[in-house]
Chain A
Amino acid sequence: MTATHRPLVEVKDLHVRFRGERNVHAVNGVDFALDRGEVLGILGESGSGKSVTLKALLRLLPEKRTVISGQIRVGNEDVLALEPEALADFRGKTASMIFQEPMLALDPVYTIGWQIAEAVERHEKCGRDAARQRALEMLERVRIPSPARRLDAYPHEMSGGMRQRAMIALALACKPQVLLADEPTTALDATVQIQILLLLRELQRELGMAAIFVTHDIGVAVEVSDRIAVMYAGRIVETGKVADIVRRPSHPYTRGLLASTVHGAMRGKRLDAIPGAPPSLNEAPSGCSFAPRCKEVLPECSQSLPQAVTVSPAHLSRCVRSTPVTA
Chain B
Amino acid sequence: MVSLAEPVPLIIAPSRGYWASVGQRLLRDKVTMVCVVILLTIILAAIFAPYLGLADPYRGSIIRRLRPIGTPGYLLGTDEQGRDMLARLIYGGRLSLFIGLLPVFNAFVIGSLLGITAGFVGGKVNAAIMRTSDVFLAFPSVLLAVAISGALGAGILNSIVSLTIVFVPPIARIAESVTTQVRSLDFVDAARASGASSWTIIRVHILNNVLGPIFVYATSLISVSMILGAGLSFLGLGTKPPEPEWGLMLNTLRTAIYVQPWIAALPGAMIFMVSIGFNLVSDGLRSAMDVRR
Residues of A that sit less than 8 Å from B by CB: 55, 58, 60, 64, 84-85, 88-93, 96-97, 99-101, 103-111, 118-119, 122-123, 143, 145-146, 149-150, 152-157, 159, 161-162, 167, 170-171, 173-174, 194-195, 198-199, 202
Residues of chain A within 8 A (CB-CB) of B293 are: 103, 108, 156
Q: A99, B189: Cβ atoms under 8 Å? A: yes
Q: Is the interface of A mostly helix, strand, loop or mixed?
A: helix
Residues of chain A within 8 A (CB-CB) of B122 are: 64
CB distance from B199 to the nearest CB of A (A): 10
- Segment touching A, from B4-12, B231-239, B254-262: B4-12
Residues of chain A within 8 A (CB-CB) of B14 are: 149
Residues of chain B within 8 A (CB-CB) of A157 are: 15
Can you name 28 A-B pairs with beta carbons within 8 Å?
A: A88-B197, A92-B195, A96-B193, A97-B193, A99-B189, A103-B293, A104-B187, A105-B190, A107-B191, A107-B205, A107-B209, A108-B187, A108-B293, A109-B208, A109-B209, A109-B292, A119-B195, A145-B6, A145-B8, A145-B10, A146-B12, A152-B15, A157-B15, A170-B194, A171-B193, A171-B194, A174-B195, A195-B4
- Please indicate which of the listed interface residues B6, B15, B196, B291 has the most CB atoms of chain A within 10 Å of its own CB: B15
Q: B7, A96: Cβ atoms under 8 Å? A: no
Residues of chain A within 8 A (CB-CB) of B185 are: 104
Distance, CA A101 to CA B187, complexed state (A): 10
Report which of A60, A167, A173, A202 forms a contact with B192, defined as CB distance below 8 A.
A60
Distance, CA A198 to CA B6, complexed state (A): 12
Which chain B residues in 1-29 approach chain A with CB under 8 Å?
A: 2, 4-10, 12, 14-15, 18
Residues of chain B within 8 A (CB-CB) of A202 are: 4
**Other 11 A-B pairs with CB < 8 A, given A103-B293, A108-B187:** A88-B195, A89-B195, A100-B186, A101-B186, A104-B187, A108-B292, A118-B196, A122-B194, A122-B195, A153-B12, A157-B15
CB distance from A211 to the nearest CB of B (A): 14
CB distance from B187 to the nearest CB of A (A): 5
Closest to A61 in B: B189
Report which of B186, B194, B205 forms a contact with A119, defined as CB distance below 8 A.
B194
Q: A84, B197: Cβ atoms under 8 Å? A: yes
Distance, CA A84 to CA B104, complexed state (A): 38
Q: B193, A146: Cβ atoms under 8 Å? A: no
Are A109 and B18 also in contact (CB < 8 A) when A145-B9, A161-B7, A198-B4 are?
A: yes
Are A162 and B194 also in contact (CB < 8 A) when A105-B189, A154-B18, A194-B2 are?
A: no
CB distance from A300 to the nearest CB of B (A): 41
Q: Does B72 sit within 8 A of A, measured CB to CB?
A: no
Those 6 A-B pairs whose CB atoms lie nearest each other, nearest first: A92-B195, A92-B194, A145-B9, A104-B186, A105-B186, A97-B193
**What 1/0 mask marks residues of chain B from 177 to 206 whose CB sits below 8 Å from any chain A CB?**
000000001110111111111001000110
- Please indicate which of the listed interface residues B5, B9, B123, B292 has the most CB atoms of chain A within 10 Å of its own CB: B292
Distance, CA A91 to CA B187, complexed state (A): 14
Distance, CA A104 to CA B122, complexed state (A): 22
Which chain B residues in 246-289 approach chain A with CB under 8 Å?
A: none
**What 1/0 mask marks residues of chain B from 154 to 198 whose CB sits below 8 Å from any chain A CB?**
000000000000000000000000000000011101111111110
Q: B4, A149: Cβ atoms under 8 Å? A: no
Residues of chain B within 8 A (CB-CB) of A101 are: 186
Distance, CA A195 to CA B293, complexed state (A): 24
Are A91 and B194 also in contact (CB < 8 A) when A101-B186, A153-B15 are?
A: yes
Q: A60, B187: Cβ atoms under 8 Å? A: no
Are A149 and B292 also in contact (CB < 8 A) when A91-B193, A97-B190, A198-B4 are?
A: no
Report which of B2, B189, B200, B204 forms a contact with A60, defined as CB distance below 8 A.
B189
Closest to A59 in B: B192
Residues of chain B within 8 A (CB-CB) of A198 are: 2, 4
Residues of chain A within 8 A (CB-CB) of B4 are: 143, 195, 198-199, 202
